[in-house]
Structure 1
Amino acid sequence: MKRARLPMLAVLPVTVISFVVAVPFVLGDHPLQWSSGSPVPHLVLDGKEHTRPAGPTGGDGRTAAAPSTGPELAKVDKEWKQGMPQWGAQIYWEDNPRHSLAYVEKQARLHANYLVGLHANSVSVSFPFFTGNRSSTKITRGARTPTPDRLARVLEIFHEAGLRTTVRPLMDEHSLKAEHGWRGSIEPAGRAAWFASYEKFVTPYLKAAQSEKAATFVIGTELNSLEGDPHWETVVNDAEKLFSGEVAYDANWDNYVRGPVVMPVSHLGVDAYFPVKAGDGASVDTLAAGWNRWLDRKATGPLPKITVAEAGIGAMKGAYHAPGDFSTKRAVDPRVQATWYTAVCKVVQERKMSGVYWWSIYFDDDPNTAPDDKVASRLDFAGRPLTEKAIRACFTSDYAGPGPQTTS
């Protein structure tokens, strides 16, 4: 049976609060994207390449666990059911085809156990796909795009742990070298050709998501310039023929607050990097108020049909004005990150939102080790005790969730 969709997911503002923050932020504000096929990945930020220094395992600033049969799989205390909050994290996976399936399985178990230890009930697997320049009409799998079969195995392990699973392809930005080279600014020379190529790419991943009973497939993320295009109708219709779960779209925070996000999907997520003008010692209430001023530009009151698909901030001084800044390495201050996480969780609960996914954990990392702050992104949260304490407090709160939702 065809599920009801939300043709216009973002409601018009009920109350608009004038709130202008004259602060810098990362355009598009997806906090990181690394290029494929290099042992020392390159970062593209505002059209400029940056190099991510190689860590002990070749580029992630952490020590990855050695391949093994892996730990015994833990199990969530309470599996997610419809209407409950989604408490989770984004796992970002740039696959290395030289890694054995045993290594992939071991890493999946490692992350599942870590998430269960945080009392998460959900996980989203983000992975890269590739294009040419901003006008390209061709979508491809790169060397570091997981194959559908390997993705299916990872989903299977997460499912065995009792975690709700989301599949989330994410356009890599390395080739978008022009000014404002961000996935949200692409302008394909032929849109029909672009959408045909994109649908061909996502089809086997939709099948993998269906085979492993994923709950959500995110059909697009932060594609501002393509939102509202009529070609999405065909892509989503065909996706719903292959995948019986929820077909979603994740909007970037700037477009979300700017106006209606018109996408023919069942659910809307927001990659939420709202800048807040506040000092390092700001309270949870101050930060939560800053978030609410941004959200109120869309609508006041509960937002039960919205999921915070990404939230995160650097564990460093001066981070509140640009929470998506992943490249700057100011003095480490774990309290800044932990307080932000607590404030976000407070907003999610008070606004009756569907849940939150923290950005992010690299698939090849060992999340049980502290990040090497000489090379790692300040946004890394795994291995930071204060932030992990804040996450556990959030995920074990008495928030029952938004309740079952109907679409119209």
Structure 2
Amino acid sequence: MKTKKILFLLLISLQLSCNSQTQKINGVSFVASRDSINSKHINPVKRAQSNYVALMPYSFIRNIETPKIEFNTNREWFGETKNGLLQYAKEFQEVNIKIMIKPHLWLRRGGYTGDLKPSSEENWKILENSYKAYILTYAKAAQAINADVLCIGTELEQFVANRPSYWLDLIKEIRKVYKGKLTYAANWDEYKRVSFWADLDFIGIDAYFPVSDKKTPTVEEFELGWQAHKTEIKGIQKKFNKPVLFTEFGYRSVDYAGKKPWKSNRVIDNVNLQVQVNGLQAIHNQFWQEDWFAGGFIWKWFHRHDKVGGKKNNRFTPQNKPAEELLRRLYHQK
């Protein structure tokens, strides 16, 4: 009888452990396309054992001098619009894949969104008013589809740093129309200075931290490179007592991918599939077992699975590479 009781308690313990692990956000950043999607496009995401997708409606600024944000126009691809978002979300939710809506801003004439800083009060107001209209549109859409998470912005360091009261007011306005969880996608070198983490549900980080100068770091070398960053992340997590979410993470399959992981410039004739595998394994080893870590969204995943990635591709996608098989195993772990 005593033996049966011990076995029963062990089974309960294992079940609780499994439930804890499956609660992690095992996500992919699903790239918007010009097309609608169906089960053919969703099945590879399911095979990757993902339980979340980040859907990314885009907006853009034509002229940085007068930074009015335009969005949901007929000049965008279908998947970047509100109707596209709704169609994508419906298809994923039908197979029990959860949704994070993660709006992105694009500067049409180039430049980094984190540097967006209007030159006058008049232009600040143009930016603020149009951004509010943009985010509230997708906050209402998030509520309509019962999205699990809404990301209120992506890599907007100067906007966030220079207009703190605007962001606090905006969060209040968002919460009036959307009842789910909120985050913000801070760049890896920005997250420690974000002033409103206490008002959100997740500390969101686009986790492109420099971790190694080596051509092909081993898993152990990648993990060693994470130690100082992880300590700082834990410090911010403890300060605000909020779970950390990697709103983006990943590596290119290219030499020296751990040196400046954010670099997306094209590199010709340089493919390193192993460095991508080692980097992803190291992130999972370092973070996925931590209670304070909510999970993350790998960058990035395209809808035409049969047409992207592969062993000659050195971009971020893990599709049709050894990294995809690794991701399937990691996301499936209990």
Residue pairs, 1:252-291, within 5 angstroms: 252-256=187-191, 259-263=192-196, 264-291=199-226
Aligned to 1:46: none
Structure 2 runs not aligned, ≥5 long: 1-18
**Using a 3 Å threshold, how does the CA distance of structure 1 residues 301 and 390 change in structure 2: closer, same or farther?**
farther
Looking at structure 2, the residues matched to 165 and 276 of structure 1 have their Cα atoms a distance apart, in angstroms, of: 30
The reply to whether residue 224 of structure 1 matches residue 157 of structure 2 is: yes
Shift in Å, 1:82: 11
**What are the equivalent positions in structure 2 for 1:44-55 lying under 5 Å apart?**
none
Determine the structure 1 residue equivalent to 2:317.
380
Aligned to 1:236: 171
Name 1:105's counterpart in structure 2: 37
1:172 matches 2:116: no
1:52 corresponding residue in structure 2: none
CA RMSD after TM alignment: 2.6
Distance 1:82 1:164, change over 3 A: farther
Q: TM-score, normalised by structure 1?
A: 0.68
CA pair 389-163 structure 1, distance change in 2 beyond 3 A? same
1:395 paired with 2:331, answer: yes
In structure 2, what residue type is equivalent to 1:397?
Q
| Corresponding residue to 2:180 among 234, 245, 258 | 245
Secondary structure at the aligned position of 1:318 is classed as: coil
AA of the residue aligned to 1:391: L
1:186: which partner in 2?
A: 116
Deviation at 1:345, TM superposition (A): 0.9
* Secondary structure of the corresponding residue to residue 172 of structure 1: strand
Task: Give the drift of 1:163.
Answer: 0.8
Aligned to 1:127: 57
Other-structure match for 2:297? 357
Question: 1:72 corresponds to which residue?
Answer: none
**Cα deviations across residues 296-315 of structure 1 (Å, max 9, x unaligned)?**
23445977610111111111
Q: Deviations over 1:208-234 (max 9, x none)?
A: 211111001111110000225211122
* Aligned 1:84-95 pairs, distance under 5 A: 84-93=23-32, 95=33
TM-score (ref. length: structure 2): 0.82
Q: What is the total number of aligned residue pairs between the two structures? A: 301
Alignment partners' CA distance in 1, 2:233 and 2:141: 35
Name the CA distance, whole Å, in 2 between partners of 1:166 and 1:82. Answer: 19
1:348-379 residue CA offsets vs partner (Å, 9 max, x unmatched): 2244310021000234xx224452677x6521
The SS at the match of 2:327 is helix
Q: Which residue of 2 aligns with 1:313?
A: 251
- Is contact 1:119–1:392 with CA below 8 Å preserved after alignment? yes
**Superposition deviation, residue 112 in structure 1:** 2.3
In 2, distance between residues paired with 1:231 and 1:158?
Answer: 33
User: Of 125, 133, 136, which aligns to 1:203?
Assistant: 136
- Relative to structure 1, the CA distance from residue 244 to residue 286 in structure 2 (aligned partners, 3 Å threshold; closer, same or farther) is same
Q: Structure 2 CA distance, aligned partners of 1:302 and 1:262?
A: 13
In 2, Cα distance between the equivalents of 1:237 and 1:315?
A: 41
Write the letter of the residue equivalent to 2:220: D
CA distance in 1, matches of 2:193, 2:300: 27
- Find the residue that maps to 1:378 and give its secondary structure: coil
- The answer (yes or no) to whether the contact 2:64–2:107 under 8 Å persists in 1 is no
Contact 2:210 2:261 in 1 (8 A): yes
Inter-partner Cα distance in structure 1 for 2:230 and 2:64:
30
CA distance in 1, matches of 2:251, 2:159: 27
- 2:167 and 2:58 map into 1 onto residues whose CA distance is 20
Higher helix residue share: 2
1-structure distance, mates of 2:126, 2:169:
13
Which one of the candidate residues 258, 262, 278 is aligned to 1:339? 278
For 2:105, give the aligned amino acid.
M
Q: 1:226 to 1:290 in 2, by over 3 A?
A: same
